[in-house]
Amino acid sequence: MKRFASLKRKRILSRAIVLGFCLGVFSHVRAANPSDFETPEYFKSNGLDKNHFVLSVGGEAEVAKGWSIGGDASFVRGRHDKDFSCSVTVKRMW
């Protein structure tokens, strides 16, 4: 199970441009023991990170009639690991 606390903000700059960001923390609360199916025993798993800091930004803009382009970037940081991801999307609407 994960708990997630965040602050999200979305801003519409004009009719065709939308920007947003998310700043938050998520925590892995518990994990079930896969080797013991008879009893519902729960425990905190091995030494992997339990708490992560999350920062993400994204936006979308209409570049021509029926065409829009968008992008997202996110950064997740734990005590021993980090993850960075980006994406770009091109959409055609009709």
In this structure, what DSSP letter does residue 66 have?
T
Inform me whether the pLDDT recorded for 46 exceeds 70.
Answer: no
pLDDT of 81: 83
Three-state DSSP state, 11: strand
Q: Any idea which residue has 């994204």 for tokens?
A: 58
Chain length of the chain: 94
Question: Which residues in 1-94 belong to E strands, given as ranges?
Answer: 2-12, 17-28, 31-32, 42-43, 51-64, 67-77, 82-92
pTM (2 decimals)?
Answer: 0.67
pLDDT band at 47 (very low <50, low <70, confident <90, very high): low
Segment 58-80 shows an average pLDDT of: 92
Inform me whether the pLDDT recorded for 68 exceeds 90.
Answer: yes
Report the chain's mean pLDDT, rounded to a whole number.
81
Edge to edge, the sheet with strand 67-77 lists 2-12, 17-28, 51-64, 67-77, 82-92
Segment 61-79 shows an average pLDDT of: 92
For the chain, the domains span: 2-31+41-92
